[in-house]
Structure 1
Amino acid sequence: MKKVIIFTIICILLLTGCDSNNLPNAKNPVTINLWHNYGGLMKETMDNLIDEFNDTEGKEKGIIIYVTSLSGSATIHEKLKMAVNDEPGSPELPDITTLYPNTALMLSEKGLLDDIESHFSHEELSLFIPEFVEEGRLSDGKLYVLPTAKSTEVMFVNTTIFNKFMEETDASYNDLHTFQGIIETAEKYYIWTDEKTPDIKNDGKTFITYDSLFNLAQTIYKQSNDNFIVDNKLALSSNTFKDVWNFCFEPSVKGYIAIYDGYGSDLIKTGNVVVSIGSTAGVLFYSD
């Protein structure tokens, strides 16, 4: 059973170890099967890149990428599991696929993964966020998963509103560099918006929303060199949890933070909040 490469970079890299006499060419092409679960704009972008490769460098060097688009990571996991266990009706393993490390572990235990570190120089790997790359190493220390669609959490700011807010107050973008500064700015914003309607008391607007309080708590603990989870339990008695409380719950009660059962992009586009902290994966849902 062939080994699976888990990354979606130019596939000619997979062939660097071949004997030059056996390298594919326009008259002797090779087909590389790739699975992915991208949707929407990501799928369109991936399809366009692959079409471009197939029509240019791939055509010239005899490398054709055949794509199978699946509905989600769970579907990919199940199909790979079927193939690994040689179940009836199981598909042939792809050469390249997108998946999560837990699925990679299943394939690794069967000896079906290729160590992709040999296909990249140190300089090329340094272009990735180091922590993301390290997540792709399994227990044997080899690199099996490369982050091609990895997300992290960032701060989104409605600059139209915030710039006007800065013009009329002493607020600054520098105030958003710390959690303490964010909460102090949120209080200023609440007061500033409340004063816009002097005949209506306590109608100030919320300043910020967090897509994931759990992720935010982990960030605060990490910055404090503390552990959010100890012995498989939340460390709520830690002094760091007081910071989480001060940065999240008290400001929410006071109206500085929006508690919303959805994504911050909804609120920031409508002007109901000025700032949102959420995943880079949601950037397409924010307006320009």
Structure 2
Amino acid sequence: MRSGAGAARFRPLVRSGPVDADTTAGPPDPRPLVRAQVETLWGTDARGRLGHPAHHAVLAVPGGGAQLWAGGHIPDGLAARLAAVPLPDGAEPGEEPPDAVLRCRELLERELGAVELSCVPSHLVPAGVRAAGAPAPGGEAGQVVRYDDPGAGRLPLVRPEVWEPDEWRALLAGELGPWALAHHGGRVLALCFTPVASPYGAEAGVWTHPDARRRGWASAVTAAWASAFPDDRPLFYSTTRDNRSSRHVAARLGLPLLARLWKLSRPGRSGEHRERPWQA
């Protein structure tokens, strides 16, 4: 596993659950990478609290010790009660919310009202994906290009309707971070870009044209995106439990499951993360 440039800068956590004391056996401890992703998506304040007001708490359940972050806006007494909730042990994360998540939701709703519960299966994009690439796409012919390929930003591409004109121009100019796309005849088949990044890591964002789905293009551009990164910060691929297409991409690339991030959020704001200008 790669480690990010900011690995030594982590602030204290609100709470960490038990882990196997034998650190010489088994897979590497996933908790530093989970902390890197939380820091990238939402940031933390000097107390180790979540830096985004949309989320009351996040409980990360990896295969080796759960971690809990309370929101920076949460009253101290409530944050202390959340921290006292027993966390899951080192068992592999399951599809259903653990008791700790349900207990935290109960505590939050008692004081703050309705809470939206959501789950983000988070995958690590390992170094091997950069080298090996993705399975060869089938069906429609096309070409995969990266943002750092000569002339990539000047390709005569038809802007996907989901992108605003100014954002699309900034993307192609490299102002929004690394990207990779597949195109054919000026039409964008699939795109992987960088919706959020920090010195701790970066997230993959993937869009596929409805007519080009299930042909391997999302996997191809995700691998190309990873190979385009100018440094070795950790790269993450997150999805939702209900997004079968996105989960299929993770499976096709063989991305290891890092953790399930259980978010307890303000209603209607569960998908929000920090907005940051791209910095190489």
Superposition TM-score, scaled by structure 2 size: 0.27
Structure having the larger proportion of residues in strand: 2
Report the structure number with the largest CA radius of gyration: 1
Q: Which structure features the higher share of helix residues?
A: 1
Which structure carries more relative contact order (alpha carbon 8 Å, separation 6+)? 2
TM-score normalized by the length of structure 1: 0.27
